[in-house]
Structure 1
Amino acid sequence: MFSTLESNYKSDNASSNDLESSAWNQFFLKYDCCAVHEVNGTTNDFDNTPWCTTSGSCQDTSSQIPRTCCKDVTLNNYTSAPSNCHASVNRGTYKQNCMDPLKKLSVNNIEEYQLSLLSFSLLFPIILQVIEITIVIVLMFPRCYGSVNEN
């Protein structure tokens, strides 16, 4: 995950034509997180991204983290994120890393999946019994189901 961010992140514009950067920014906004590892200041996961090394506001030194990483920003207002967040990277102004929300999502999905399996495993024997009882009834009482020859 980190290598993908480091190799492909080129813009902090959430609606840029660069689909990978846009996807990262949308992810940061949707899951209220920033980067893969915890941001601890101006040295962070974005330092070696194309956004910081070849192009973008990080490379221009006007940002140290994406504006989409700032607390309380949305898709509608991230472009006006406070500079003390993205330029100065002051503690308490930016979001937590994205690993914690991902872990929670995977745990929730696993738990939901396990619950589905558990429900099915509990219901399956009951379903088999109902099928078995239905077959026995049909075989024992064929007249009720129109399979007897009438003379």
Structure 2
Amino acid sequence: MGLNCAGKFGKIFLIVLNIVFMLLGLALLIPGILVHVNADYVNEQILPLMSTFTFGGISLAGAAQGLSIALIVVGAIIFLIAIIGILGACCGWRMALIIYATVVLVLWIAQLVIVCLYITMKDKINTEVQEQMLDQLHQNYVADELSTLNTTTSSKISTAWNYLFIQLKCCGVHPVSLLSNDFDETEWRKSNPTMTARIPKSCCGATESNYLVFSNPQCTDSLVTGYYESGCFDTIYNLIDRYNVAFIAIGVITLIVQGVAIASACMIYRQMTSHSQFA
């Protein structure tokens, strides 16, 4: 093909990079198919609560249940793009190189736009999430029960909240306070004004196995000790924020690698075109 040293290096880089991309595509594609066949990956107890949270018209439950399809689609796209890149570099197919560079460039721009939107809208998203969580707790938390242990549970969403508190070891949406907490305005408290409990057992260390017999008045009634002080929004946010540095680093590296891949494809195409003109 008459490539110079830079062109040959770009060709090798493109081949190796796209072999890695092929493996990455398979790594997403195969688990996506397996998860789609056996779609028990979403906890059925928390799913009713996830269904109440919507962003941009899409429910969180729908997004979670569509994860397998997303993995299949993304994995297939990455795999196909990698095949095109390898064919273009190995076989000298200039059209394949053009398609590869164009598709990767579009993905690169899309990723950059998503990152910029997230940075500019992060505070707004966090505020909206908190508001939706608090509204759902106030409107739909009506029972301190677990449906798997008590078939008379009056609300699946209440059960979902209780499972969330147990699994994440958090309580309510905002941090619990001795003076007030998020449960004060719930239907659970309003419909039982003489009830001594101020927070549910799920906030006090109860587990699924001992929920029916669990009792800790110093926690549920007086909030002296034993309750989960962190609100669930902060707990979820901290879980995500813990990996922010890793996400940012991976994102930057990905953008750089994709940029080099685009440059390599363009360089190989240009050298192949120049060589064919003078051949």
- TM-score scaled to structure 1, two decimals? 0.70
- In structure 2, the gaps of 5 or more residues are 1-132, 148-152
Correspondence for 1:26 among 163, 178, 182: 163
Distance in 2 separating the partners of 1:18 and 1:112: 39
1:60–1:97 distance in 2 versus 1, CA, 3 Å = same
1:112–1:101 distance in 2 versus 1, CA, 3 Å = same
**What is the match of residue 87 of structure 2?**
none
Distance in 1 separating the partners of 2:165 and 2:216: 18
**What is the match of residue 122 of structure 1?**
256
- Superposition pairs of residues 43-62 of structure 1, within 5 angstroms: 43-54=180-191, 59=193, 61=195
Distance in 2 separating the partners of 1:31 and 1:9: 17
Larger RCO (CA within 8 A; separation ≥ 6): 2
1:106 Cα deviation after fit: 4.0
2:176 aligned partner, one-letter code: V
**What is the match of residue 208 of structure 2?**
75
- What is the aligned length? 138
Deviations 1:9-55 (A, max 9, x none): 11122334623212211211121101123323474321221111225
- TM-score scaled to structure 2, two decimals? 0.42
2:183 aligned partner, one-letter code: F
Pair 1:8-2:8 in alignment: no
**What is the match of residue 9 of structure 2?**
none
Please report the RMSD computed on the Cα atoms of aligned residues, expressed in angstroms. Answer: 2.9
Helix, strand or coil at the partner of 2:177: coil
Helix, strand or coil at the partner of 2:183: coil
Deviations 1:68-103 (A, max 9, x none): 1013x3333333333232234322x11123243133
Distance in 1 separating the partners of 2:156 and 2:173: 18
User: What's the % identity of the aligned pairs?
Assistant: 25
Distance in 2 separating the partners of 1:87 and 1:78: 16
1:14–1:42 distance in 2 versus 1, CA, 3 Å = farther
Pair 1:105-2:227 in alignment: no
